[in-house]
């Protein structure tokens, strides 16, 4: 089947490469000429494990193509996926202007049957709005062309997006009729041998499912972070509590890790959009508003701990802090809504000197902070630790897990570790001669 993906960002590029891997002929379209030029030269503009290999393989196999030509991309496609950004408006609502622009273009160009699929996360009702926009464009042209609209939300996790796409735990599809349902079954035929992973439903429920899933996961994170903050005051250990409640089959272990808050392109934006939608419909989303508030505050916790600690040791001004990890999570270079952004801004405002390192996200981080007299960009974690008064771990990259801390201790001014992800064991770090401060861990140094 010939498929067009409109929008070659994180979701669009991964989805397109995976569809090509399953044997479809895929054209990824983007209006960014520089991005398309890079992709046609097999240069991937984002970091995602296994993505580069997948793109190159399917380009070589003549199953994956990149273009800026709308007319060419839409003409031969049976299915057009819309995968463009849906940024937040100032009030937190979802900005669907890019989606609406795409719908207008599709309506102005298509001359035979298409299935138009909303892959972007957008406000409930967007897919039907797309339908109406296309109908309006067809009316302007005074032509009658049959088409269907479908909602097919993505559930990819950055850092494991290729695996998530090729081996999905479920595929949610919202359709209006049997024809589009059968076409979507054909689209996803190669992705799952078990048909129970294909979950068909009405379009509005499909759109809402995406928001509900992200809201549930964000709620678990904020819940554990709030419990962790209580733990610090009563002397309990959040890691023990995670084991104690995670072993309950009704709860499970997923997303029960305390830390410095969630970030990325999905959770923060989707929670705000869902709160905005609820308000628009006259529903008070008290729980979701609190989830967002807790997360905003949690991003400040580790920086406040460092500021408080050094207030008893001459103040944070001119102290050197090594920062390990900048991306919002491991295995991605995505800096959107990353807790590190709040952390860095807070310490810079207090006059601290920062030595920054991330295995993948350095280039994107440099674009955000540019030149700052109190920032040193480092080549690795050891380089960052040189001459530092403390280390702050913000992203739990695998390469930080099994380090030899003896040489690191020797090059630091004072061996203090602030662990924003509870990656290390307090007793182990103390045996290695470090003062250790985690999140929700007892015997904290205050």
**Nearest CA among 343, 372, 351, 370 for reference residue 439:** 343
Report the alpha-carbon distance of residue 215 to residue 255 in Å, rounded. Answer: 12
Span between the terminal Cα atoms of the chain, in Å: 62
Respond yes or no: is residue 231 known to be catalytic: no
Report the alpha-carbon distance of residue 164 to residue 205 in Å, rounded. Answer: 22
Cβ contacts of residue 389 below 8 Å, gap of 6+? 310, 319, 320, 321, 412, 413, 414, 416
Structure tokens belonging to residue 32 = 């960014």
| DSSP character string of 81-148 | EE----PBPTTS-B--HHHHHHHHHHHHH--S-EEEEE-S---TTHHHHHHHHHHHHHHHHT----EE
Question: Which among 28, 80, 231, 266 is annotated as catalytic?
Answer: 266
DSSP letter (8 states) at residue 391: E
For residue 78, list its beta bridge partners: none
Pairing of strands 114-118, 2-6: unpaired
Cβ-contact 100, 125 below 8 angstroms: no
- Catalytic residues, by residue number, are 266
């Amino acid at each position: 089947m010939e498929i067009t993906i409109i929008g070659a960002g994180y979701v669009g590029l991964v989805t397109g490469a995976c569809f090509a891997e399953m044997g479809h002929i895929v054209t990824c379209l983007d209006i960014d000429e520089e991005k398309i030029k890079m992709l046609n030269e097999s240069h991937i503009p984002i970091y995602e494990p296994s993505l580069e290999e997948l793109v190159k393989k399917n380009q070589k196999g003549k199953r994956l193509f990149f273009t800026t030509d709308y007319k060419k991309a839409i003409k031969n496609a049976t299915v057009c996926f819309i995968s463009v950004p849906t940024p937040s408006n100032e009030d937190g609502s979802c900005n669907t202007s890019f989606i609406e622009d795409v719908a207008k273009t599709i309506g102005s160009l298509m001359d035979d049957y298409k299935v138009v699929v909303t892959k972007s996360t957008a406000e409930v009702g967007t897919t039907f709005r797309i339908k109406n926009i296309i109908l309006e464009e067809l009316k302007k042209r005074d032509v009658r062309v049959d088409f269907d609209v479908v909602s097919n939300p993505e559930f990819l996790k950055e850092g494991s997006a290729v695996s998530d796409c090729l081996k999905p735990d479920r595929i949610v599809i919202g359709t209006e009729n049997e024809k589009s349902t059968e076409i979507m079954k054909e689209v996803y035929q190669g992705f799952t041998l078990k048909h129970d992973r294909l979950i068909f439903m009405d379009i509005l429920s499909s759109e809402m499912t995406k928001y509900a899933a992200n809201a549930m996961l964000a709620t678990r994170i904020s819940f554990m972070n709030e419990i962790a903050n209580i733990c610090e005051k009563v002397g309990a250990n959040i890691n023990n509590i995670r084991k104690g409640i995670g072993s309950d089959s009704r709860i499970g272990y997923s997303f029960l890790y305390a830390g410095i808050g969630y970030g990325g392109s999905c959770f923060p934006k989707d929670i705000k959009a869902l709160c905005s939608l609820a308000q628009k419909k006259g529903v008070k989303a008290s729980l979701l508003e609190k989830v967002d508030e807790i997360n905003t505050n949690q991003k400040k916790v580790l920086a406040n701990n460092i500021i408080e600690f050094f207030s008893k040791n001459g103040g944070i001004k001119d102290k050197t802090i090594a920062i390990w990890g900048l991306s919002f999570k491991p295995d991605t270079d995505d800096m959107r809504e990353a807790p590190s952004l709040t952390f860095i801004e807070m310490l810079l405002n207090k006059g601290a000197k920062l030595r920054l390192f991330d295995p993948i996200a350095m280039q994107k981080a440099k674009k955000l902070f540019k030149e700052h007299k109190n920032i040193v960009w480092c080549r690795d974690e050891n380089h960052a630790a040189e001459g530092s008064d403390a280390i702050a771990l913000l992203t739990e990259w695998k390469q930080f897990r099994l380090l030899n801390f003896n040489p690191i201790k020797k090059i630091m001014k004072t061996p203090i570790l602030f662990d924003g992800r509870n990656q290390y064991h307090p007793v182990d770090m103390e045996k290695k001669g470090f003062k250790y401060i985690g999140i929700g861990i007892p015997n904290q140094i205050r």
